[in-house]
Structure 1
Amino acid sequence: MKLKNHILTGIILLANFSAFAQYGSQKRADNLFNKFSFVNAVQVYHNLIEKDFNADYATRQLADSYAFMRNPDSAVVYYKKVVEQHNVPIAYYYNYAQALRGIKEYKESRVWMKRFKKAGGEINDERFLKDADFINSIFNAKQQYFLTKVNFNSKYSDFGAYEHDGLIYFASARNEGVSTKHVYGWNGEPFLDIYATEKNANDSIVDHKSKLKGSINSIFHDGPITITKDGKTIYFSRNNFNKNVLGKDEEGMTNLKIYKASLIEGAWTNIEELPFNSDAFSNGHPALNKDETKLYFASNMPGGFGGTDIYHVEINSNGSFGSPQNLGNVINTDKNERFPFINSEGVLFFASDGHPGLGLLDIFGTVLDKNNNIISVLNLGVPVNSSKDDFSFFMNEDGLSGYFASNRNGGVGSDDIYAYDRIPQLKIQGTITDITTNKPVPNAIVTLLDSNNNQIAHLETDENGQYEINIDRDSDYVLNIKKDDFIDDTRHVTSKGVENKVTSITEDFNLNRVIKVTPITEFYPIYFDFNRFDIRQDDTVELDRIVNLMMNVYPDMIIKIESHTDSRGSSQYNNKLSLDRANSTYKYLIDKGVDPNRITEYKGYGEQKLINDCDDTTNCTEEEHQLNRRTQFIVVKMK
């Protein structure tokens, strides 16, 4: 017997571990997806589909991932599965249509585009039906980013926001509190300096006191910057000015160079010019990759594709630098590519006026293949991009927030910093407890169904009675909780109307234990006529027996009432009808003298809990349907 119990315990723990391992896999996949690491996300989504864990959601994410990887052949396969799902967001009709265009299935694409439009989708026919780049069309089919203005912009140019260790660093031409004014003749604004402000500071005043300490700021342009993880080394752009000498090229122009400095006792000192700079051309806008082995930057050095290109150099273990390497013509064009940024998954973002965009400089993300080669670029679309200059993109570790700069209309100064948030994954979570002891209920079975009763997830609560499932926004669901020796509980939940910034919905359950009673206290169901909720005369005998037992035999007994319908009629109508039956049953008992406090609840379940196979797909006799038109009485507590 002990051996059997150990085996059973092992099986339960293994199942519990497996469910939560899949939680982790889905979080990992979504995190990779948010950071544009689509090739790695694909592998995890495939695994989730194979294990049938939240498979509909994983299939949608997988289809989008293939689309962004410029793999329309695979994207079409999974979009086809997606559009067959019940209650799927109509945006996927559009995505499927665009993917079909990617494999030149134009006739079928038009069918799904019309279906998207008929379902209420808006289409700019002239733009999208002529657009040859189906990837960008899919990516921008729905808004990805939501903007908020930061509170420290000035009337001058502010850009290059970079968050590190609770501080936001940025370049600014503001000169409040400065006695000596140095003005840049090109635009009539003061020269740029590097500032830092606390991320959550309530005070929006950022003046000369917020400049970086030390010798990093000069009388000419300084910024933008990037900082090593340990916070001890900074790389920054500056006019060709070192040791109080302003360098110039043969035509008398001063170019940009990249420098680094060290943080010593709270001040940035030991300014060093990087060895691959030159008086003859500009290097600027430095950015580090995750492991700090490469420095990316923009340059107009000879040998590029035109304008400024994106380059990188290796940072060797001894601190020396390799030779600049051009990133190639997938990134660089004959115009200008600037302001590189590398996120935590090694994905490059940059600004360009050479790739198809909405205006002047637009911000683009890149897509990598399994060998980490850049295979395409994605325009981030509105509202990140506008008809003006949009540049200096930064993304936090979470992949869901960051900053960029723009000179679009409506700003405070010539260039302004904007904060963005991406819509985070929404999850439903909760704790299952014993209503009597208030202790957690581990290994309870949690089943999530969509509005058509299709199973989406099936898992067990952990040792703390907790569960967590990723869900879609703007959708309806049903949560069912089961546990041996407890009464099942079912609840309708919705994500409709949930604000974009909200990341979780909490649904806790208090389960009632099943009370094993003697035959005299077993209650039998009562039944109802078709489409009626009034108490039948032949059922008053059982109801009167219940009244007698509760009032005269078991005065401490507490019950609950559950009413049901057969499968005929709509789900919405049957839910209402079953609630009416529960109400009439409750009223009968109360009118006969039962204390209302001894009936914990009276609920209608519609056609959710049929006791036979008489659903909408089966022809049943009236007698078989009658068995489902019932009210049941459940003993919750009895001393």
Structure 2
Amino acid sequence: MKAISFLLLLMSFTRVFSQDVQSASKSYFHLKLKVLDAENHKSLEGTFLKLYTKNKPQRVDSSIVENGYAIFKLEKGNEYELLAQFDEYLTQRASFNAACYLQNPSKAFCVSGIDIEHISKLSNQSSLIEASMSMKKINLNDVFGVEHIHYDFDKWEIRKDAWAGLNNLIQLLKDNPSIKVELGSHTDSRSDEGYNMVLSQKRADEAVNFIVNKGKIAQERIIAKGYGESQLLNHCKDGVNCSEKEHALNRRTEIKVLGYQTNKKPSVLQRGTAISGARN
């Protein structure tokens, strides 16, 4: 009986020791993040930051920007996603593909959505990443392009290579549930104006149907509008000889913000363990 008790105690100590060794062998990055207005580069004090793991969409930490920044602890080898939310601004996402560190230890992260400004070594198993994230203020009638949405000449069907751009738009609408937008489609100048107006409307309708059906976005939040050849981006108007590449520039889809609701008194933000603001 004593032998069995001793064995169980030994197994318990072994398990604890193993966990301690495993924890000690882990390497981390501390992310010191500033959040700035995309236009004037002023600090957006009060921005709410939420950190998620990408492999299991689960929030692991959160913070509020105070006195210039917030700090998060990221484990090397994990993948993360960071959401920044601030009233009257479009929600911003940043992705951290930490797995690229395993392929090239000289890299901190393969990142998108933030700008890394400086990396310094804190210890053998810890480094500090100083970075910034920009957020765009929502202004009525703001127009911005949607990348990778292409149409075959004289066609309006959604091609598979347009799915990525439309999925990005779905994510934008989900991240910003208060905004209403117009999805505007354009053609090049070939064919007559009336035909191009109808063609562009069909393209806009197809794109909106994709977003509503696949993204489960409320129909009343997005309006389809065709502009035909009325808003060319270059000199390729009727009678001008242009290359296919120049014509393709005008066959585009754009988003216009039609309205949004502000939330001057947000619900209570649950702060996590991350650090906000300067610590002297």
Q: TM-score range by the shorter chain?
A: 0.3 to 0.5
TM-score, normalising length: structure 2: 0.42
TM-score after normalising by structure 1 = 0.20
Greater RCO between the two (CA within 8 Å, min separation 6)? 2
